[in-house]
Amino acid sequence: MTRRTSGEGEVIEELKKRLIEELGYPENCIQTDPQYRIPLRPSDRKGYPVDVAVFSNPRKADSDLVLIGECKKPNRKEGIKQLRILLGNSQAEVGVWYNGQEHAYICKTFDERGRVKFEEIPSLPKFGQSISDIGRIKRKDLAKPIDLVKIFRDIHNYLAANAVGITRAVDLAEQMIYLLFCKLHDEINKGPDDDVEFCAYFGEKSEELKERIVRYFNEKVIREYADVFEKGDEIKLDSKSIMYVVGELQNYTINALIEENVDAVADAFEVFIGPALKGEKGQYFTPRNVIRMIFEALDPKPDPKTGVTPLIIDPACGTGRFLIDAMRKLWGSLEEEAKKNWSDRILMTKKEKAATRLYGIDKDEFLAKVARAYMALLGNARENVFCTNSLYPSEKWSEQIRARVKLNSFDIVVTNPPHGSKLVETDPDTLEQYELALEWKEKDGIWKVEGTFSMVGRKVLHPQSFFLSVASNS
């Protein structure tokens, strides 16, 4: 028996779990221990041990081998090389290399002269499917992912290493937003028996796929989400990178996961957002347990007499995590109320109205876009996220923002403003509106930004309302 490291064993179990739970392979058709062995030459009696061997039926005869998994080789190039050798000496058509961080899928076919060919494929076939079925998916067949964070991390690792022409983390995050909207739009607008369009077919050239996805984004997504995207927004990822992303996501339902667990999707996307923000502007993620504790304490819920949901604003919303958790908390209270024999339609209507009571402002254009995208994806409420400096006097805000963000009207202000010794506010027009700021100037006549934010609430809150800000410990 070939000895395995503990890390290798974990990766093998992870691959096995995905084959069973996401792709429908029966457990009794999968062999990992003892390892199945493939002879590499006619005289080879011992054979090469395969980490994962998948068969078409529980007999597990050599002729029934359909898929092999290789988890030993440390990098993609060596993994693919090993898969080709194993596929060339076995009955299996499909091979997967996976090291816990990256993966590759390849298949074995034959040309018109009967010579063996190997090519990468966008995803693995489900149990009972042939290679030609890859990408031909009905919406009802989409599966909930076991670990969306893991999938997004795999995508991020691939793009960071292989995307051509895009290297900045911010740009990769934006590109992922565009593709995720394509995926969600396709799911939402398809019936259960309709074929999905966000897919990569077996044999489809990456250039053809890119043309199809770009057209979908330009003609459908931007048109429907004109308040999220701007005129210059476009998909710029190279065709092979798009093929990888689409292949990774095409078998999953993201929309059903959103309805079941908002946090799961938000957590997954922060795989891309995190590297895009390194704190150089004082932007730091508030730990999830802190956000959760805040809203457990505030406990926002509709007024029991009027049914009106409290107005909530984050004047330094960043990527919108406070807004997302506020929405989660509000929706939770509505779901409890729904147990009083509400119909699904009534509950959905009330959830949509509750989401429109959440407001966010951030002066960083990228962060505001991410927050709008989050609110659009998770709650279809993106109209109330604005890009401006909330510290400015309201007279400096755009007419649209002044019309939507009414002074002295909010019930709750909750925020984690930028922190840092280099983040200061010196604009006299901004400071003049805050009496305390004029009295509490820091050394050299400047005022730390986080301190100024503590007074923003005074101009947007009404009496008997709540203000909560996360303070820096430095």
- For the cut 70, the answer to whether the pLDDT of residue 113 exceeds it is yes
Cα Rg, the chain, nearest whole Å: 26
pLDDT for 427:
55
Segment 212-236 shows an average pLDDT of: 92
Q: Model confidence at 192, in pLDDT bands (50, 70, 90)?
A: very high
**CA dist., res. 243 & res. 239, Å (int):** 6
pLDDT tens digit sequence for 296-310? 998 998 888 888 899
- For the cut 90, the answer to whether the pLDDT of residue 44 exceeds it is no
Give the chain's end-to-end CA distance (angstroms, integer).
56
455 vs 47, residue with greater confidence: 47
Q: What is the pTM of this model?
A: 0.83
DSSP state of 105: E
Q: Model confidence at 41, in pLDDT bands (50, 70, 90)?
A: confident
pLDDT for 449:
45
From the list 87, 130, 89, the residue with the least C-alpha distance to 106 is: 87
Evaluate whether 162 touches 174 at the Cβ level (below 8 Å): no
Range from 159-163, 415-419, 459-463 carrying the lowest mean pLDDT: 459-463
Segment 227-254 shows an average pLDDT of: 93
Residue 395 CA, chain-centre distance (Å), reads 37
Evaluate whether 236 touches 165 at the Cβ level (below 8 Å): yes
Residue 93: how many CA atoms within 13 Å on its side-chain side? Answer: 15
pLDDT for 112:
87
Q: Model confidence at 13, in pLDDT bands (50, 70, 90)?
A: very high
Which residue ranges make up each domain of the chain? 6-131, 148-255, 282-469
Q: Model confidence at 232, in pLDDT bands (50, 70, 90)?
A: confident
CA angle 172, 250, 83 (to 5 degrees): 90
Give me the residue label for tokens 């005022």.
447
Evaluate whether 334 touches 350 at the Cβ level (below 8 Å): yes
Both tokens assigned to 444: 């050299």
Chosen CATH of 282-469 out of 3.90.1150.10, 3.40.50.150, 3.30.70.20, 3.40.50.300: 3.40.50.150
pLDDT for 438:
45
Q: Say if strands 116-120 and 103-110 run parallel, antiparallel, or are unpaired.
A: antiparallel
- For the cut 50, the answer to whether the pLDDT of residue 439 exceeds it is no
Task: Indicate the SS3 state at residue 159.
Answer: helix
**CA dist., res. 158 & res. 123, Å (int):** 15
Q: Model confidence at 16, in pLDDT bands (50, 70, 90)?
A: very high
Those residues whose C-beta lies under 8 Å from the C-beta of residue 336, and which sit 6 or more positions away, are none
pLDDT for 447:
47
